Structure formats: C-alpha cells, structure tokens
Amino acid sequence: MIPDAMGEAAAEAAPAKVNLYLHVTGRRPDMYHELDSLVCFAGAADRLRARPAASIDLTVDGPFQEGLSPGSDNLVVKAATRLAAFAPGPVGAALRLEKNLPIASGIGGGSADAAAALRLLSRLWDLPAYAAAHVAPSLGADVPVCLGSRTVVMRGIGEVLTPITLPEFSLVLVNPGIGVATGAVFRAFHTAGTGFSLPVKLPDLPDALTLAEFLRQQTRNDLELPARALCAPIDEVLRALAATAGCLMARMSGSGATCFGIYAEAHQAAAAAAALSGRGWWCWPAR
C-alpha cells in the first residue's frame, strides 16, 4: 500500500460502469427488477482514500462533490459500517472520496464508490474476501458488479455475473450535466407499458465493428426511451455522439443521462471527446 500526501495507508479507484446493453427481463414479487446487461468499466473513476481511525468518517471533494452528503446515507459510509460488522473488534477509518464522476448519471458512481470502500477497507482491516462479497448485494444491484470491476454479463438482480472477454475498442462517455433519478426512470418504463425483454446470447465478437453491429442490431437499453422522455438533453448528446467521425454506435448507459459512443481507434475517441467537451458537457475518452 502506497502512502499519499494525507498520510493514508491505502487508496482505491472506483471506475465508471458502462452498460453496453441493458434489458429489463422481469420483475420479482419483491419488486426487484431482473436484468440482462453487458457491463464493462472505463478509465474514468472516482478515487477513495483511507487511513486507520477510531471511527468511520467521510469527507468528499472533487469536481462533483456538490450535493453529495458525507453522512450516514452515503453509500461509502453504509459500506464501511456494514463491513465493520465482520471485524473481530472495533475498527474505523478516515475516508476521503474524490468525486470525479457525475452524480445520478447511469455509470454506477455511487455503487462504484461503495465497492471501492469494500475492497479498500477489507485490506485495511485485514478481513476475509467473503465479507465484501456478502455485504455488496445489500448496498444495491450494481454494487456486486462494481466490486469486481471487470467485463461481465450481469443477470438476475445484479448478482449473477459471468466474466467474458471483449475485443479492444474505445469509448467516449458524455454527460450533459443533468442528474436522472433511477426510480423515476423505472416508473416511466412501467408507465410506457412496453413489456419485458428477453436475455441475449452473445455471439463471437472478434473486433470493434462486429461488437457495435451486434449491439445495434440485437440489443438496446430498455431504459433509454423513458429516460429521454424525462431528460430531453439525452437526445442531443446521442445525436452529437453519432455525428462524430468514427462513431460505430451511440447509446445511453444505465438509467442515464450519461451516453457513450463506440470507436475502433483510440485517436477517434480522443478527437470526439475533444470536440464534444466544447459544448460544456462532461466527456471522457477511454480504451
């Protein structure tokens, strides 16, 4: 573990989660939604740091700190508190979250932060690996997939994860600076009455073009239309991404409003991000 300027014992990245497709396949009697999603992780990330302390405390800084509470309702604090129950004695940590990802943006920022806290504090407190895995599902449907932060097909209510390998490709993430509440998007999805989708079987995906064609022709994000009805700027972002040179497809991630474009080459993604950032949007190119 590498100390930093704050004298902390550990640090952990919380990378952005990207739903390359997202099908809502059903709803259980307990009202949890069943999903089928191809998930990857981008280089854009929050960063969580910690040092031993007598209690669990969180401070938040970074470009997207505004409006984010450091109190008991923060997922990082919830993760730490629940994980502490697995320690043989009293434990604590002074945590500092550098919030680089937009809030309520469909790329799992809060879930990624909670997962980073579980990884970080498991090391700091010398806990067995099963502790973090046990706590993760109780924090939200995206936390188990963020705990591993690897490319997977995610099914069930987020707990059935099948690792896969994708070809190399580049992404540009774009957020128009407007938060979208996941609950409101799901309510709009049910109000629209479009019904549930079927799971998808992944074919061979040897290159970025084949991947983009598969995603465009055989998959979708079931939450995109209801999110667009609630947040009109999503339409503008998708049109702008699709118009950039080399964009193979554009789609919204999660419940929005962050969208992504897929590119075969890193220089195409970098040029697109540079062009789109001039509109005042948050943009991030990633391989």
Which among 46, 113, 142, 222 is annotated as catalytic?
Answer: 142
Does pLDDT of 110 surpass 60?
yes
Q: What are φ and ψ of residue 30, in 5° steps?
A: -85, 10
Quickly state the pLDDT bin for 9 (edges 50, 70, 90).
Answer: low
Q: What integer pLDDT is reported at residue 91 of this predicted model?
A: 97
pLDDT of 225-263, one tens digit each?
999 999 999 999 999 999 999 999 999 999 999 999 999
Residue with tokens 């474009």: 261
Report CA dihedral (91, 96, 102, 105) to the nearest 10 degrees. Answer: 0
Does pLDDT of 188 surpass 90?
yes
Q: Estimate to the nearest angstrom the gap between the alpha carbon of 215 and the chain centroid.
A: 19
Alpha helices in 167-265 (DSSP H): 182-192, 208-218, 224-230, 233-242
Q: What are φ and ψ of residue 161, in 5° steps?
A: -120, 125
Residue from 88, 78, 36, 39 nearest 58 by CA:
78
CA pair distance 97, 194, nearest whole angstrom? 39
Does pLDDT of 287 surpass 90?
no
CA pair distance 7, 22, nearest whole angstrom? 41
Q: Which residues pair with 51 in a beta bridge?
A: 94
Residue with tokens 């014992």: 9
Annotated active-site residue 78? The verdict is: no
Q: Which residues pair with 263 in a beta bridge?
A: 170, 247
Token duo for residue 105: 């943006």
Annotated active-site residue 207? The verdict is: no
Does pLDDT of 51 surpass 60?
yes
- pTM, two decimals, is 0.94
Residue from 181, 153, 155, 201 nearest 28 by CA:
155
- Domains of the chain in sequence order: 10-163 (3.30.230.10), 170-286 (3.30.70.890)
Which among 4, 17, 57, 222 is annotated as catalytic?
Answer: 17
CA pair distance 182, 222, nearest whole angstrom? 13
Q: Average pLDDT in the 65-70 region?
A: 93
Quickly state the pLDDT bin for 67 (edges 50, 70, 90).
Answer: confident
Q: Average pLDDT in the 80-91 region?
A: 97
Quickly state the pLDDT bin for 4 (edges 50, 70, 90).
Answer: very low
144 with 158: CB under 8 angstroms?
yes
pLDDT of 136-162, one tens digit each?
999 999 999 999 999 999 999 999 999
